[in-house]
């Protein structure tokens, strides 16, 4: 069902019935005087998501050859239908840093490295499915500060690395509107995971602080709803959330003397309905380890923990 948010600005849901995310908010800016339409993000490449996407586009009277699609980042719940949209004749747009990162097959190296972080085979098996970006996905690439104009809105591309290495938000200064992608979500905290050779949490915290410089009256998140919460308040809440998680991670490692990321994750507290770590679904163990690792890397970079390789070749952390 289409919801009108402001002049020429609409949203509809792409439903994820089997995911705790619930749904993706697809945003549309309708062009004026024959101008092109803009669609932001596209859902998974599943029959249900594609049906929701097509229905939304149809109800908004959108034609592929008159539509530009901007992807906030390269995760499969956002770019899943890129190939289908390209086949409909749409022009695809994405941040250059994000596109280049995901074009270099980071998933394989992440999988290989997870062995050293203590992730057991059964957890890796649960995740070892094809996560490549769609074939022949050659979007027009955008840089930080580039401007996109549709339907009376002048959207600035804002680099917000953290949730992914080249994530971008779109900001319209005229209407004080921010399309946040997965950088700022409201009733769930965005997953921050580790990518080899990067301090993803450090990047994320910097990108959150960057958000405090923008005057935002309307925040449009990639998933779920804002629940009426003000954008600035939510940004501050997320900063505080990670500060607490950093302290907890440091305490867990200190209490255990030394730990690999997988062990540390098993000792952290998680907002999930499972009796114990053993009862976590394998995929959740994977995400929890990634999130813990992002915190461990940040703590190591800030001199609060030390990382070393043990005699078995595992990557371990201990207190200074
Ligand atoms: Zn997402």
Model confidence over 181-213: pLDDT tens digits? Answer: 999 999 999 999 888 889 999 999 999 999 999
- Ligand 1: distance of its center to the CA of 166 in Å? 14
CA distance 70 to 170: 10
SS3 24: strand
- Ligand 1: distance of its center to the CA of 131 in Å? 14
Is pLDDT of 176 > 70? yes
- Ligand 1: distance of its center to the CA of 23 in Å? 9
CA distance 37 to 269: 44
- Ligand 1: distance of its center to the CA of 78 in Å? 6
Residues 247, 214 share a domain = no
Count of structural domains, the chain: 2
CA distance 303 to 290: 20
Q: What is the CATH number of the domain that holds 258?
A: 1.10.10
- Ligand 1: distance of its center to the CA of 97 in Å? 18
66: which 2 tokens?
């008159």
Residues 302, 162 share a domain = no
Domain boundary among 182, 199, 233: 233
Residues 131, 17 share a domain = yes
Residues 156, 74 share a domain = yes
Residues with CB under 5 A from ligand 1 (ion): 77, 182
Residues 58, 89 share a domain = yes
Q: At what angle do helices 282-301 and 200-211 cross, to 10 degrees?
A: 80
Residues 247, 140 share a domain = no
3-state secondary structure string across 242-292: HHHHHHHHHHHHHHCCEEEHHHHHHHCCCCCCCCCHHHCCHHHHHHHHHHH
Residues 210, 246 share a domain = no
Residues 147, 67 share a domain = yes
**Helix spans in the chain (H):** 47-59, 76-79, 82-87, 96-103, 106-114, 121-127, 200-211, 231-255, 261-267, 282-301
Residues 181, 166 share a domain = yes
Is pLDDT of 47 > 60? yes
Residues 245, 225 share a domain = no
- Give the model confidence (pLDDT) of 81-105 as tens digits: 999 999 999 999 999 999 999 888 7
Say if CB 263 and CB 283 are below 8 A apart: no
**Domain region containing 26:** 3-233
Residues 287, 266 share a domain = yes
- Ligand 1: distance of its center to the CA of 316 in Å? 30
Is pLDDT of 316 > 70? yes
- Ligand 1: distance of its center to the CA of 257 in Å? 35
- Ligand 1: distance of its center to the CA of 222 in Å? 6
- Ligand 1: distance of its center to the CA of 182 in Å? 5
Q: What is the pLDDT of residue 237?
A: 97
- Ligand 1: distance of its center to the CA of 153 in Å? 24
pTM of the model: 0.93
Is pLDDT of 136 > 80? no
Give the helix/strand (H/E) hosting 13: strand 9-15
- Ligand 1: distance of its center to the CA of 15 in Å? 12
Is pLDDT of 10 > 90? yes
260: which 2 tokens?
């690999």
Domain boundary among 200, 233, 266: 233
Domain boundary among 216, 233, 250: 233
């Amino acid at each position: 069902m289409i919801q009108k948010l402001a002049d020429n600005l609409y949203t509809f849901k792409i439903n994820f019935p089997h995911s705790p995310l619930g749904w993706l908010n697809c945003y549309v800016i309708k062009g004026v005087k024959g101008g092109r339409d803009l669609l932001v993000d596209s859902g998974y490449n599943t029959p249900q998501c594609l049906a929701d996407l097509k229905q939304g586009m149809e109800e908004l009277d959108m034609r592929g050859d008159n539509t530009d699609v901007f992807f906030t980042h390269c995760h499969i719940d956002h770019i899943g239908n890129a190939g289908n949209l390209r086949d409909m004749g749409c022009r695809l747009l994405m941040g250059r840093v994000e596109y280049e990162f995901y074009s270099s097959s980071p998933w394989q190296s992440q999988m290989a490295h997870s062995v050293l972080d203590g992730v057991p085979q059964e957890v890796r098996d649960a995740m070892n499915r094809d996560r490549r970006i769609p074939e022949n996905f050659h979007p027009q690439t955008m840089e930080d500060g580039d401007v996109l104009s549709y339907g009376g809105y002048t959207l600035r591309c804002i680099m917000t690395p953290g949730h992914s290495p080249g994530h971008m938000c779109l900001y319209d200064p005229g209407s004080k509107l921010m399309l946040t992608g997965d950088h700022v979500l409201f009733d769930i905290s965005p997953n921050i995971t580790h990518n080899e050779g990067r301090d993803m949490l450090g990047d994320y915290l910097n990108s959150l602080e960057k958000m405090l410089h923008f005057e935002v009256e309307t925040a449009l998140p990639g998933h779920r709803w804002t629940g009426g919460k003000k954008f600035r308040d939510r940004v501050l809440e997320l900063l505080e959330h990670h500060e607490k998680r950093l302290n907890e991670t440091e305490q867990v490692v200190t209490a255990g003397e030394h730990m690999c990321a997988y062990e540390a994750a098993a000792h952290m507290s998680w907002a999930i309905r499972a009796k114990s770590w053993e009862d976590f679904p394998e995929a959740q163990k994977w995400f929890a380890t990634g999130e813990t690792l992002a915190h461990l890397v940040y703590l190591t970079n800030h001199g609060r923990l030390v990382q070393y390789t043990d005699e078995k070749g595992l990557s371990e952390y201990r207190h200074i």
